[in-house]
Amino acid sequence: MGRRDELAAALARVCDRITAACAAAGRDPAQVRLLPVTKTFPACDVALLADLGLLDAAEARDSEAAAKVAEVIALRPGAAVRWHMVGRLQRNKSRSVAQWAVQVQSVDSARLVAALDRAACAAREGGQRRGALGVLVQASLDGDPARGGCPLPQLEALADRVAAASQLRLEGVMGIAPLGIAPGAAFAQLSAAAQQLRRSHPGAVELSAGMSGDFEQAIAHGSTCVRVGTALLGDRPLASR
């Protein structure tokens, strides 16, 4: 089987799972966006996904992504792929990320908010981007900030900062179910935090939750964006999981 057929078959399986999870939760599948996570996979895979109608892609590292974005443009000049950053982000990478990402889902500190706001401003002035940079605040669901994410008690204050930044647009909340905690319990917590945040920020409607192994449970708890890598693209080399 060629790679295109392989990806088409995997996509059909993932879409079936999303449809079934939505049916079980009494939700409309149109409310759940599939975001392919293409980290460690080559630009030609992103191009094939675009051919299959998937025009969003997510990356976890700036250095890998920046090169891949350029390659995909060369491979499919007409396809306007929207790139998302979902991995831990060092402030000194903000400048670069603001040039290729439409949305950063992994914003977890006030200092990163300030750096991204400045970076988005510079990218607009430099002509590398139009419009504000979309932001999801990432919640830490195990309270261990070393693993990324903002502790739940500080999430609202962080969201306030994003909303106040002139070049950023607060779009919602992202979370990763920690190892060793039942995903359902983690997503219930995340969903409650997202609802709380929406009271003061009604535009923050996105809830990015669920990966290949647990997205059914995330959909049951209101996820609007499932970030799917391995179920779509296959196994990654162990080191970069």
Indicate the residue among 95 and 227 with the shorter CB distance to ligand PLP.
227
- Residue 52 φ/ψ, nearest 5 degrees: -85, 5
Nearest approach in angstroms of CB 147 to ligand PLP is 11
- 86 CB-contact burial (10 Å; exposed 0-12 / middle 13-18 / buried 19+): buried
Give the x/- contact pattern for ligand PLP in 104-143, rule: CB under 6 A. ----------------------------------------
Could you say which of 11, 18, 46, 176 contacts ligand PLP (CB under 6 A)? 176
User: Residue 14 interacts with ligand PLP (CB under 6 A)?
Assistant: no
In whole angstroms, what is the distance from residue 199 CA to residue 194 CA?
9
Give the x/- contact pattern for ligand PLP in 50-69, rule: CB under 6 A. ----------x---------
Q: How many CA atoms lie within 13 A of 154 on its CB side?
A: 15
User: Residue 219 interacts with ligand PLP (CB under 6 A)?
Assistant: no
In whole angstroms, what is the distance from residue 154 CA to residue 150 CA?
7
- Residue 46 φ/ψ, nearest 5 degrees: -65, -40
CB 129 within 8 A of CB 96: no
Q: Pick the closest to residue 54 from 19, 98, 8 (CA basis).
A: 8
Q: Can you tell me whether residue 219 is helix, strand or coil?
A: helix
Indicate the residue among 139 and 211 with the shorter CB distance to ligand PLP.
211
Total count of residues recorded for the chain:
241
Could you say which of 128, 154, 189, 230 contacts ligand PLP (CB under 6 A)? 230
In whole angstroms, what is the distance from residue 167 CA to residue 97 CA?
14
Indicate the residue among 159 and 228 with the shorter CB distance to ligand PLP.
228
In whole angstroms, what is the distance from residue 226 CA to residue 37 CA?
10
User: Residue 213 interacts with ligand PLP (CB under 6 A)?
Assistant: yes
Q: Judged by CB under 6 A, which stretch of 42-50, 72-80, 158-166, 224-232 contacts ligand PLP?
A: 224-232
Could you say which of 21, 22, 37, 204 contacts ligand PLP (CB under 6 A)? 37
Q: Judged by CB under 6 A, which stretch of 15-23, 127-135, 160-168, 206-214 contacts ligand PLP?
A: 206-214
User: Residue 212 interacts with ligand PLP (CB under 6 A)?
Assistant: yes
In whole angstroms, what is the distance from residue 36 CA to residue 215 CA?
13
Positions touching ligand PLP (CB under 6 A) are 37, 39, 60, 86-87, 176, 211-213, 227-231
